[in-house]
């Protein structure tokens, strides 16, 4: 981060505080770019003509498909986006009647692909588009794992410079003041381009005016935190292959909590680990000291014992010596006595 940017951020933060941004302690709420564009798709008006697919192909200069775009037999198969098709229309049966649905990038307000990208190659633009910058892409394809709508595709055939491919919302055309290719080509008005806020109003109005024609739900208003492409339909969205179990949690919020544990580990693990090490060392030291003390005590005791033994031995020796002397003296005295008695007896016998 450049220093200038950092200072800019500080002043920006100050300005946004003055402007009263929706940032209270601990809560951060963002409503996206206020004037961003979107497209409203009305499945009750789509006739499955594939004109949008053809326009998309032409505008993005993609390779021509094997079957021409006016061949509607491909609608019989369930199709998805590929590296050479950014949008497809699929046909579904509901109550015996065909219902069509167009698939392309929904241009999330909080894109999962952008949140997952580890080089920041995806960006939410002020126009509403989620753009992709191939010059950053490393080709890990984590965006494809993350996208709940299964939109990003990959050029698996390219060994050197493969790219992720997806609908660009025709951002260059929007910036020129033109309509996205698909919207411009739609003959039935099933696609309406406009500011997202305005589109939501139009969608609500249509549902209010014709409650018998529409399901009372605008797909994309809340899904995954909201998308810039919006859908209204006459049949349940699940029936035209749109998942209704995605929830309304914006993708970045799925990981923010777990990611916030990362700095906590970095901050606290050194504490616990040096603590464990210190305890280990301390135990070792105490053990060593105790060992030393025990040895000291044992040595001292042994020495005292030895001294006692020595003294006892000396004493005993002394006693023994004394006893021997006494014995000798006694013996000498006894011998002398005996000699005297013998002499007396002899002199008595002579008389």
Partner 1 sequence: MEFMTYHDFMFWTKGMAYVGMGLALVGFIVFWNFLTTREDDRFADKEEE
Partner 2 sequence: MAHVGAPSTKFWTPANILTAIILVVGIVLTVKRFTMGIGSVSNLSDDNPWGIWIGFDLLCGVALAAGGYTTTAAVYLFGMKKFHSAVRPAITTAFLGYAFVVFALLYDLGRYYRLPYPLTIYPGPTSFLFEVGLCVALYLTVLAIEFSPFLWEVIGWAKIRHLVHKLTLALTIFGVILSTLHQSSLGGLYLIAPSKLHPLWYSIYLPLFFFISSIPAGLSMVILEGSLSHKYLAHKMDDEHHHGFSHVVLGFSKAASVVLFAYFCMKWIGVAMDNNWSHLSTGWGWWFLVEVLGFVLLPCLLYAMAAREKNERLAFWASVMTVAGIILNRLNVSIIAFNWRLPAEARYFPSVEEFLITVFIVTLEITILRICLNKLPILYQHPQFRDAH
- How far is CA 312 from each of CA 252, 284, 300, rounded to the nearest angstrom? 89, 41, 18
CB of 184 to partner 2, least distance (A): 26
- Beta pairing, strands 229-232 & 37-42: parallel
d(CA 129, CA 173): 12
CB of 137 to partner 2, least distance (A): 6
Burial readout 166-197 (b: 16 or more C-beta within 10 A, e: otherwise): bbbbbbebbeeeebbbbbbbbeeebbbbeebe
d(CA 217, CA 116): 29
CB of 19 to partner 1, least distance (A): 8
d(CA 65, CA 70): 11
Partner whose binding site includes residue 39, from partner 2, partner 1, none (CB under 5 to 8 Å by kind): none
Secondary structure class of 123 (helix, strand, coil): strand
Partner whose binding site includes residue 5, from partner 2, partner 1, none (CB under 5 to 8 Å by kind): partner 1
Torsional sign, CA 178, 225, 103, 95:
negative
CB of 191 to partner 1, least distance (A): 25
Partner whose binding site includes residue 217, from partner 1, partner 2, none (CB under 5 to 8 Å by kind): none
| 278 lines the binding site for partner 1 (CB under 8 A) | yes
| 111 lines the binding site for partner 1 (CB under 8 A) | yes
CB of 136 to partner 2, least distance (A): 5
Burial readout 29-47 (b: 16 or more C-beta within 10 A, e: otherwise): eeebeeebbbbbbbbbebe
Taking the least distance from each CB to partner 2, the nearer of 234 and 250 is 250
Of 3, 4, 15, 272, the one binding partner 1 by CB under 8 A: 15
The CA angle 321-325-330, to the nearest 5 degrees, is 145
d(CA 351, CA 342): 15
Of 66, 77, 135, 260, the one binding partner 1 by CB under 8 A: 260
Q: Are 62 and 165 in contact (CB under 8 A)?
A: no
Of 110, 149, 167, 233, the one binding partner 1 by CB under 8 A: 110
| 126 lines the binding site for partner 1 (CB under 8 A) | yes
CB of 41 to partner 2, least distance (A): 21
d(CA 231, CA 224): 14
| 216 lines the binding site for partner 1 (CB under 8 A) | no
Binding site for partner 2 (CB under 8 A): 80-83, 112, 114-121, 136-142, 144-146, 148, 150, 152-163, 243, 245-247, 251-252, 254-255, 257-259, 261-262, 265-266, 269-270, 273-274, 276-277, 280-281, 283-284
Interacting residues toward partner 1 by CB under 8 A = 1, 5, 8-9, 12-13, 15-16, 21, 28, 30, 32-33, 109-111, 114-115, 120, 124, 126, 225, 250, 252-253, 256, 259-260, 262-263, 266-267, 270, 274, 277-278, 281, 285
């Amino acid at each position: 981060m450049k220093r200038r940017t950092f200072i800019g951020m500080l002043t920006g933060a100050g300005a946004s505080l003055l402007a009263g941004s929706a940032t209270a302690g601990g809560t951060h709420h963002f409503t996206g770019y206020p004037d961003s564009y979107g497209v409203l798709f009305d499945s009750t008006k789509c006739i499955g003509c594939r004109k949008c697919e053809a326009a998309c192909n032409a505008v993005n200069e993609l390779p021509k498909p094997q079957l021409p775009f006016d061949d509607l037999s491909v609608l019989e198969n369930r199709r998805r986006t590929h590296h050479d098709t950014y949008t497809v229309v699929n046909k579904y049966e509901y109550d015996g009647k065909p219902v069509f649905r167009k698939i392309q990038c929904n241009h999330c307000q909080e894109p999962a692909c952008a949140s997952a990208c580890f080089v920041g190659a995806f960006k939410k633009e002020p126009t509403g588009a989620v753009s992709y910058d191939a010059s950053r892409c490393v080709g890990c394809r984590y965006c494809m794992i993350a996208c709940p709508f299964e939109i990003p595709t990959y050029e698996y055939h390219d060994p050197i410079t493969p790219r992720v491919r997806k609908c660009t919302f025709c951002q260059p055309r929007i910036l020129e003041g033109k309509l996205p290719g698909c919207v411009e080509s739609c003959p039935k008005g099933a696609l309406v381009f406009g500011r997202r806020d305005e589109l939501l109003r139009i969608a609500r109005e249509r549902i209010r005016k014709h409650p018998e024609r529409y399901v009372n739900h605008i797909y994309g208003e809340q899904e995954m935190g909201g998308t810039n492409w919006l859908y209204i339909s006459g049949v349940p969205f699940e029936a035209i292959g749109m998942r209704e179990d995605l929830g309304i949690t914006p993708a970045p919020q799925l990981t923010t909590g777990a990611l916030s544990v990362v700095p906590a580990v970095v901050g606290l693990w050194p504490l616990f680990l040096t603590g464990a090490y210190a305890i280990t060392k301390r135990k070792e030291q105490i053990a060593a000291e105790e060992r030393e003390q025990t040895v000291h005590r044992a040595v001292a005791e042994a020495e005292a014992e030895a001294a006692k033994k020595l003294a006892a031995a000396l004493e005993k020796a002394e006693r023994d010596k004394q006893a021997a002397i006494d014995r000798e003296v006694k013996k000498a005295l006894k011998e002398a006595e005996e000699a005297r008695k013998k002499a007396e007896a002899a002199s008595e016998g002579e008389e």
